Amino acid sequence: MKNKFFPVTLLQRSAWVWPAVVLCLSSASAWAQASKESSATAPVNVSIEAYGDLFAKATPVASHLSKVFIYRPNAVPTPQPINIYLDGRYHTSLLKGGFSEFCAIPGAVSMQVALDDASRQHLGKQEAGQRLQFDPGRILYLRLQESTYAPPSVQVVSAAAAQMELKNTRRQIHTVSRAKAVRECEDGVEAPPPPAPILAPVAALLPKPAPERKYALETDALFEFGKAELRASGYNAIELMVQKVKSEFKTVERIRVVGYTDAIGPKKLNRKLSEDRAATVAEQIRAGGLHASKGIQTEGRGALELVKTDCANQPTPKNKQCHAPNRRVEIIVLGARR
Would you state the pLDDT for residue 333? Answer: 94
What percentage of the chain exceeds 70 in pLDDT?
Answer: 79
Do 222 and 324 lie in one domain? The reply is yes
Query: What is the pLDDT averaged over residues 107-115?
Result: 93
Average pLDDT value for the chain: 82
Is the per-residue pLDDT at 257 higher than 70? yes
Identify the sign of the CA torsion 173, 176, 182, 184.
positive
Distance CA 218, CA 221 (A): 6
Do 220 and 149 reside in the same domain of the chain? no
Tell whether 106 and 154 lie within a shared domain.
yes
Which residues lie across from 93 on neighbouring strands? 83
176 plus 236 within the same structural domain = no
pTM across the whole model = 0.45
pLDDT band of residue 38 (cuts 50, 70, 90) is very low
Q: Which residues have C-beta within 8 Å of that of residue 46, sequence separation ≥ 6?
A: none
In a domain, 244, yes or no: yes
Counted domains in the chain = 2
- CATH number, domain of 293, equals 3.30.1330.60
For residue 19, is it within any domain? Answer: no
Q: Please provide the DSSP assignment of 125-148 as one string.
A: GGS--EEEEE-TT-EEEEEEE--S
- Per-residue confidence band for 101, with pLDDT thresholds at 50, 70 and 90: very high
Each residue's pLDDT tens digit, 132-165: 999 999 999 999 989 877 789 999 999 998 999 9
**Residue 123 located in a structural domain:** yes
Domain that holds residue 70: 51-183
Q: Are residues 167 and 288 in the same domain?
A: no
pLDDT at 193: 64
pLDDT in tens, 295-336: 999 999 998 888 888 899 898 999 889 988 889 999 999 999
pLDDT surpasses 60 at 37: no
Give the start-end residues of each E strand in the chain: 51-54, 66-71, 82-86, 89-94, 98-104, 107-115, 130-134, 139-145, 153-157, 170-172, 182-183, 212-218, 249-260, 296-300, 328-337
How far apart CA 114 and CA 6 sit, in angstroms, is: 90
Residue that terminates a domain, selected from 183, 199, 221: 183
State the number of CA atoms in the 13 A half-sphere of 127 facing the CB.
20
Same domain for 227 and 278, yes or no, is yes
Query: Does position 198 have pLDDT exceeding 70, yes or no?
Result: no
Greater confidence (41 vs 324) lies with: 324
